[in-house]
Amino acid sequence: MPSHKIVVCGGGGFIGGHLVADLLRQGKKVRSVDVKPFEEWFQMFPEAENLQLDLQDKENCERAVADVDLVYNLAADMGGMGFIENNKALCMLSVLTNTHMLMAARDKGVERFFYSSSACVYNGEKQTNPDVVALKESDAYPALPEDGYGWEKLFSERMCRHFEEDYGLECRVARYHNVYGPLGTWTGGREKAPAAICRKVIEAKHSGSNQIEIWGDGKQTRSFMYIDDCTLGTRKIAESEIHEPLNLGSDELVTINQLVDIVEEIAGVKLKRNYNLSAPKGVNGRNSDNTLIQEKLNWAPSVRLREGLALTYAWIENEMLASKLLVGAAK
């Protein structure tokens, strides 16, 4: 498809920043939009047109999509399980962003619209066992998604579908499964499990405490997708002729305990584990069934967890050392 100009909404965030970088490397003309002040953007590129706009406002959405052919809508209030379980209304307000973006794209003649959905749309009753059967795209119905954030994502998927049916706006949807990597959030409450575990192991190693708190019993299972797989998969899905939502995630299933094992190995430590059973832990099991994406695109995420975590751990440790947040860092 032709793409004379592309807008990345949420371009100041973790995934959005990596996507902007990837598109610029492809020689694309990119506009990057985010609600955060410029100094809070995860990455900023002078080659892009950078705008600070609140995309819950329809007029700002019209400004964001003016003269663009392709929209990547990654803008949303979100974070790890601790954030989404305690901010359900805030997460659901993101429905304003996607609705107004769709309306603006329709009115301004945008050719194609990509929406970043989430594995949180899947029926919770299919995720009660750590030995989960990998979730295929049809498992989103009958609908019983994650309360708050998951409902917003599922509703917005439907909105994309109906804008395509009723107005001819070409829409593509990817359901992201636990994206991690360098330049992501690793502290402050919005971080996800890989970054949180890396930070906790680094703190324990440098402080000499030799112990770590784990949310839940550590037996809950997940798959985690490295950021490079996410950006490549996002572009592939956006540029494809696949109209239904697709899983975009690794199918390498691990327990949270196994995730800690890998990070401990990278750090060269073995820590005492303290399990916080009252902390948010999400569903008991979730994994990505990649049958459909392999069939449709002849591709699926392939970066192994050990490889991606080593890169992520090194980046977070450097950030913590530079921020002087480590006790006993000189040891």
Look at residues 168, 59, 62 and name the one whose alpha carbon lies nearest to residue 112. Answer: 168
The answer to whether 41 and 34 are in contact (CB under 8 A) is yes
With H, G, I as helix, E, B as strand and everything else as coil, classify residue 211. strand
DSSP assigned state of 77: -
Enumerate residues 6+ apart whose C-beta is below 8 A from 219.
130, 255, 256, 257, 284
Locate 314 and state its tokens. Answer: 């090194």
Nearest CA to 50 among 76, 89, 12, 104? 12
Q: Check: CB of residue 213 under 8 Å from CB of residue 278.
A: no
Q: Where are the beta strands (DSSP E) in the chain?
A: 6-9, 30-34, 49-52, 70-73, 112-118, 170-176, 179-180, 211-215, 221-222, 225-226, 246-248, 254-255, 272-276
From 115, 122, 149, 226, the catalytic residue: 149
Whether the ω angle into residue 142 lies within 30 degrees of 0, i.e. cis, is yes
Classify residue 74 by its DSSP letter.
-
Q: Exposed, middle or buried, 168 (CB in 10 Å: 0-12/13-18/19+)?
A: exposed
Q: Is 115 a catalytic residue?
A: no
Q: Exposed e or buried b for every residue in 73-87, given b needs 16+ CB within 10 A?
A: bbbbbbbbbbbbbeb
DSSP at 134: P
Task: Report the catalytic residues.
Answer: 149
